[in-house]
Structures are given as C-alpha cells and as structure tokens.
Amino acid sequence: MREYNVAVLGATGAVGHRLVEQLELSDIPVKSLKLLASPRSAGEKLFFKGEEITVEVAEADSFEGIDLVLASAGGSVSKKFLPEAVKRGAVCVDNTSAFRMDPEVPLVVPEVNADQLQNHKGIIANPNCSTIQMVVALEPIREKFGLNRIVVSTYQAASGAGQTALNEFYQEAQDYLAGEEMQSNIYPTASDKKHYPLAFNLLPQIDVFEEDGYTHEEWKMIHETKKIMLDDMDASELKVTATCVRVPVAIGHGESVYFEINDDKATVHDLQAALTKAPGVVLQDSPSKQVYPQPIEAEGKRDTFVGRVRADSENPGAFHLWVVSDNLLKGAAWNTVQIAEELVKRDLVRVP
Amino acid sequence: MREYNVAVLGATGAVGHRLVEQLELSDIPVKSLKLLASPRSAGEKLFFKGEEITVEVAEADSFEGIDLVLASAGGSVSKKFLPEAVKRGAVCVDNTSAFRMDPEVPLVVPEVNADQLQNHKGIIANPNCSTIQMVVALEPIREKFGLNRIVVSTYQAASGAGQTALNEFYQEAQDYLAGEEMQSNIYPTASDKKHYPLAFNLLPQIDVFEEDGYTHEEWKMIHETKKIMLDDMDASELKVTATCVRVPVAIGHGESVYFEINDDKATVHDLQAALTKAPGVVLQDSPSKQVYPQPIEAEGKRDTFVGRVRADSENPGAFHLWVVSDNLLKGAAWNTVQIAEELVKRDLVRVP
C-alpha cells in the first residue's frame, strides 16, 4: 500500500488544528507529516498520532518530497506556495478561495462531485464553508427533482473568521455581560476599515463589499454553488442569490434555504425520503417532537444536518430547508481531508 | 382638549415597562393612568411622569371609567378582559395575537394602514413584532412599484420571548463562558415540551409548530402581512412565505427579506429613493462605508432601519433588503402607543 508524505500549510489556527485532527482520524496512510506556517506561527508544537511535531516556516523548498499538501493559510499564501508544491510533485487540496473559480481547478464536495477529482492538474479547491453545507443538502434533491432556483440567508458562526476573531468574540461577550464596552478590532472582517462588535449583535457583512452591494461571501456562494452542482452545464439553469450574515454563535453555520425544483408534484415527504438516503446528510426533521438542526448539537460532527423541510403553500415546487453544519469541519477541515481520502482511494495523488 | 383615563394591562415585563415609558414620551394627554397585571405581578411600583403608581390586579371592573386600554398581558388575558373593557366604553389597543385575524378588528401599523382605525369597534390589534418592521420597510416599495412575493428569513432577538426568557438567556451566556452547562427552561418557547439553550445557538422554532411544519410565528407573518398590506384586496395578490429563527441577540430583530415587485425596470436606486422618503424608515445603506442596520445600534430607537438594498442579478424585479428594528419598541410598545396617538389625533377614542 502506498504511503504518503503529507504537509499541512497553515497548521496553526482554528482550521489548521482541525486539519491535523481530521487527518489523524482519516484512512489516509501517512508516512510523514510536515507542519508549515508563517514565521509568526512557526515553533508551535502539535501532536499527530502521539508524536510531537514542530511547526516550521513555509518555504518553496519545504515541499520537496511531499506527496500531498492540505492548505489553509490564506489565499495569498496558497497563491505563492501551491504552484511551487505542484512543481515539486505534490498534489494540493486548498481550503482558501485562491483557485476556486479557476476553470482548471476542480472545486469539490465529495458527496456532490467527487468525479471531478480525475480532472485535477495538481490543485483541488475546497469550497467556501457556507457553500459546502448547502450543496450537500440540495444535491440529493437536485438529482431527483431538478433544481432551478435558490434563495439563501445564512446565519454564520464567529469561528468562520478564524481563531483570533473567535477569541475577540468571546471577550466581547464577557465585556457585554459585565456591562463594559466591547472592543472590536476584527469583525466583520479584519481586512476592512470599520469594526463592529459581534457579541449580542448581527453583522450583515462577511468579507468585503463589491461595487454591486453584494459581499464577496455572497458572490462566493452564488458562483461556487453553480460550479459544484452544474459541472459543465449552463450556469443559467440554476439561479442562486444569497444574503450572508454573521451571528453571535461560536461554531456551526445555519442556513435558511428557499428553493424551487422542476417537479411540481413532489411532496415534503418525497424530499425527506431523498435526504434520508443522501451521503453526509442527517435528517433532523420532526417538528412535533421539536427535532431540528442546532449549531450547539452539530459542533464537532462531520455531517450536514437538515430539517424544517416545508412546502411554500402558494408556490408549487417551492420549498424551505434549515441546514446546519460545523463550519470548521464539513465547512473546512473535514471536507479538505475527505477530498484527500478520495484522492488516495482513486489513486489520484500524482501530478499529471 | 380631551384628556384620557388610560389603563395598561400587563404593565410588568419587558413590553409592559416600555408601554409606560412610551406613553410618557407620547403626545397623548393622560388624565389618569391605571396599571394592571395578574395577581402574581400586582404590587410592583412604576413611575409615570414622576408619580409612583402601584400595579393593581386586573378585574373586569378595573376598566370602569377608562377611555383607553393598552394591553400586553398575553392572549388569554386579552380575550378575557378586553370585551369587558369595551363593554364599559374603553377603546383597546391589544399587543397580543388574540384578535389580530378577527375580520372585525383592524390590524394596524400606522405608517401603512392608519386609515383602518376608523373601522374599529372597540379593539385595535397590534401586529406581531417581526411583521411590523417588515411591512414598514416594504410598504413604500409596494406603494410605488407593486409587490407580489415575499420570502423572509428572520433573526429574532431573545427579548421577543419576554423578560423572564431574556434573563434566562443572559444566565445561559454567563454559564457558557464559564464553561458550565446551560440550564434551559424557556426557549424556544415556554409553552412547548422541550427546551434548548439559546446562548451561542440558533433555534429555528418561535412559538409552537402547526401540522404543516410551519410555526405559529411563521403563519403570523404570512397572514398578518397580507391583512395589513392588502386591506380588502385579494390575499393571493401577494405571496408570502417565512422562516423564523431565534438568535442569541438580546434586543433587535433582523430580517433578510427577498421580494419581487411588479416593475421590472425599477433599480436599487429607485427603491432607496422610496425608502428615504418613507415614514418610520431610516435608510442605512452605504456598503462602501460599511453602513448597514445592526441590532445593537437599533436598540432603544423607534425607527425601522433598512439597508443592503440589492437586486437579484438573475431575476428581474427581485430584490433583497436587510431590516432591523427594536422588537420591544416598534415591534411592540411603540407601535401600540403610536396607534393610540393616532386614535387621539383622529378623535377615535370612543366605542362606536
């Protein structure tokens, strides 16, 4: 059996730690593990299968002899280092937005489009967290009934902005409860000019704004959903629009998904039946027993939880879903490792 | 000038306190104020214009000599006492759901349908909090461009469930931050069987479920919106569907509102212009300056804050809004007192 020399680029931070953890839990035969980060984070020590590993400074030559790279150190870091890694023979699964919309790069959610992996040229992109859980929930429905329109409103957790942001959020919450003023230096997004508290608040801005009034996050959901669900089909076959809101929850994104299918006869029961059989989906949908997805229940789990399947009583073929998943696992670290597992299973850990 | 003997039914609690406060700030000439509540809450003392008033136990005879009743003590209390008050000549503005869908009872948001007040037969209903702020934002758009469809996802604050629930929410947040287990006895709704923590969580249940999987809160938004915006028009002219979610915010509901107008040529700028002129609306919509509505900014204010006006790029005539308002003020106490102000202004404080 082939064993792999693996590197994690961006090993520190909320997603980085979980990448190492999910890799340890995975089926991937790891021969060696190298942990890489910026000079600022190098020196930190992490455990992998009982062995202590020191995080090293990432350089182009760090990827010599590496077979598989899992990257989550920011878009500019991926842009700089992943082509270097590919040049040295490594296949890279990238959790940043750097290559997602590159037509040469497969954008993969294994439950939806694992077959796209065979087209990789060295880099495979992991989608945005809010996109992943939505397509996992909608793909079994699209497959069976067709799908022509999505209107999604997100309820995205604090940890989506990273570990430092999450720490700021906890501090804000503590200050608020103590009756003190909240100090905000990160939310809604570190890279923008103004900062607002997230604790006990709602921030309808994730990432920066584009000229048209949409945020990057909203456009990511729109473009990535089409790329993942439609493969080579016409992008106009599925209309997608999104509103992304950061909410004062630590871990676990919620999504209120409204959608229209091509089958006007399908019932809520039909949709639930399709979801019950769907890979990666756990149907939690029993209103009479108050069973529905909640972030505090989803935390630490790999699945996408789906509930509140309801028909729009006035628009035939239109339905609602409520979708929750751990944004750091299925939304990031687990989906990345899951892609790597698929690459291993299909013997695709080689640069073509 | 006529002066009024006023009674507040349900004077204790989150909305009750604000009813007294908003009445004090209002233009209504108050001759006397009687504060009424259940035996459990009687005895509490509140200040009104510098005078201390003791809360009395509500009985049918409490309404003798009263001209105007502001009620917020729960549906069953309103059902029991308001007909008694009307019998004794008092006009009642009711903040419960008891009479909202009664065809004989006007359901009023003054910015939208104040003219309905002239049809009252003694009772006027105040709509549900989440409905009010949405119709305030959408009415100026409906008036100018027509409106045929609404898909709303709410982000509703903890205080919508009342003061005791809000206290539980704060306690949960404190326990969570201290690493202790959260004790939940109220959320999602006191009257249902199971209870879940709201702090650092999302609860896609507000009020109890109906057979079709919708919650009462969702049906309230659908039915009330049609009654308020359409008056005597055909309810099928405006399609409304809703998903209501409780979020860990103390005060201030957020709403992601997606809607379709009848005018395919209208632009974001046209909609913003209509909103700028609209009564009760404050447009906060400058993405490049990161200006958008936030609950912590809306708290304590009477206005409805609207921002993130955006066009759906793939569906002509379809748009997004993000709407925030203080659910205890415009969503409850202020709208109730505002209705009373309108009744006074129109000399309608008399049972016909």
Cβ-based contacts of A217 with chain B (< 8 Å)? none
- State the pLDDT at residue B345: 98
Helix (H) or strand (E) segment spanning residue A77: helix A75-87
Is there a contact between B245 and A320 if contact means CB atoms under 8 Å apart?
no
In the CATH scheme, what is the code of domain A4-126+332-345? 3.40.50.720
- Is A2 annotated to bind a ligand? Reply is no
Q: Is B239 on the interface with A (CB under 8 A)?
A: yes
CA distance A199 to A178: 13
| Residues of chain A where predicted confidence (pLDDT) is lower than 50 | none
Q: Is A191 on the interface with B (CB under 8 A)?
A: no
Least confident of A37-41, B79-83, B325-329: A37-41
Which one of A168, A256, A291, A309 would you mutate to disrupt binding with B, by most B Cβ within 10 Å of its Cβ?
A: A256
Residue-range domain boundaries for chain B: 4-127+332-345, 131-326
Catalytic residue among B120, B129, B223, B244: B129
- pLDDT tens for B54-73 read 999 999 999 999 999 999 99
Q: How far is A301 from chain B (nearest CA, A)?
A: 15
- pLDDT tens for B175-198 read 999 999 999 999 999 999 999 999
- Fill in the DSSP letter of residue B232: T
CA distance B97 to B329: 17
Nearest CA in chain B to A196: B294
Burial of A236 (0-12, 13-18, 19+ CB in 10 A): exposed
CA distance B289 to A188: 13
CA distance A22 to A16: 10
Is there a contact between A193 and B243 if contact means CB atoms under 8 Å apart?
no
Cβ-based contacts of B130 with chain A (< 8 Å)? none
User: Which residues of A are designated catalytic?
Assistant: 129, 253
Instruction: Select the residue of B203, B249, B310 nearest A200 (Cβ to Cβ).
Output: B249
Is there a contact between A310 and B212 if contact means CB atoms under 8 Å apart?
yes
Question: Crossing angle of helices B334-345/B13-25, nearest 10°?
Answer: 40
Q: How far is B185 from chain A (nearest CA, A)?
A: 14
CA distance B319 to B268: 8
Is it true that B4-127+332-345 and B131-326 share their CATH fold? Answer: no
Q: Which CATH superfamily is domain B131-326 in?
A: Dihydrodipicolinate Reductase; domain 2 (3.30.360.10)
Is there a contact between A258 and B236 if contact means CB atoms under 8 Å apart?
no
Dihedral through CA B63, CA B68, CA B74, CA B75, nearest 10?
90
Bridge partners of B321, per DSSP, are B257
- State the pLDDT at residue A1: 86
Q: How far is B113 from chain A (nearest CA, A)?
A: 24
Residue type, B235: A
Helix (H) or strand (E) segment spanning residue B227: helix B216-230
Burial of A203 (0-12, 13-18, 19+ CB in 10 A): buried
Q: What are phi and psi of B139, to 5 degrees?
A: -60, -45
Question: Is B132 a residue whose pLDDT tops 70?
Answer: yes
Q: How far is B218 from chain A (nearest CA, A)?
A: 11
Read off the pLDDT band of B236 (50, 70, 90).
confident
Cβ-based contacts of A289 with chain B (< 8 Å)? 194
Cβ-based contacts of A313 with chain B (< 8 Å)? 212, 241
Q: How far is A155 from chain B (nearest CA, A)?
A: 8
Q: Is B208 on the interface with A (CB under 8 A)?
A: no
- State the pLDDT at residue A236: 82
Q: Is A192 on the interface with B (CB under 8 A)?
A: yes
Helix (H) or strand (E) segment spanning residue B308: strand B304-311
Read off the pLDDT band of B234 (50, 70, 90).
confident
- Is A336 annotated to bind a ligand? Reply is no
Q: Which CATH architecture has domain B4-127+332-345?
A: 3-Layer(aba) Sandwich (3.40)
- Is A96 annotated to bind a ligand? Reply is no
- State the pLDDT at residue A232: 61
- State the pLDDT at residue B232: 62
Nearest C-alpha neighbor of B70 from the set B111, B121, B131, B18? B18
Q: Is A74 on the interface with B (CB under 8 A)?
A: no
Bridge partners of A261, per DSSP, are A147
Is there a contact between B258 and A200 if contact means CB atoms under 8 Å apart?
no
Strands (E), chain A: 4-9, 30-37, 45-48, 51-54, 56-57, 68-71, 91-94, 123-125, 147-156, 239-246, 253-261, 281-283, 304-311, 318-325
Q: Are A44 and A55 in contact (CB under 8 A)?
A: yes
Is there a contact between B213 and A268 if contact means CB atoms under 8 Å apart?
yes
Is there a contact between A151 and B292 if contact means CB atoms under 8 Å apart?
no
Which one of A172, A177, A200, A275 would you mutate to disrupt binding with B, by most B Cβ within 10 Å of its Cβ?
A: A200
Q: HSE on the CB side for B35, CA within 13 Å? A: 23
- Token readout for B178 is 């201290």
Question: Is B231 a residue whose pLDDT tops 80?
Answer: no
In the CATH scheme, what is the code of domain A131-327? 3.30.360.10
ipTM over 0.85: yes
The reply to whether B129 belongs to the active site is yes
Mean pLDDT in residue range B80-101: 97
- State the pLDDT at residue B203: 98
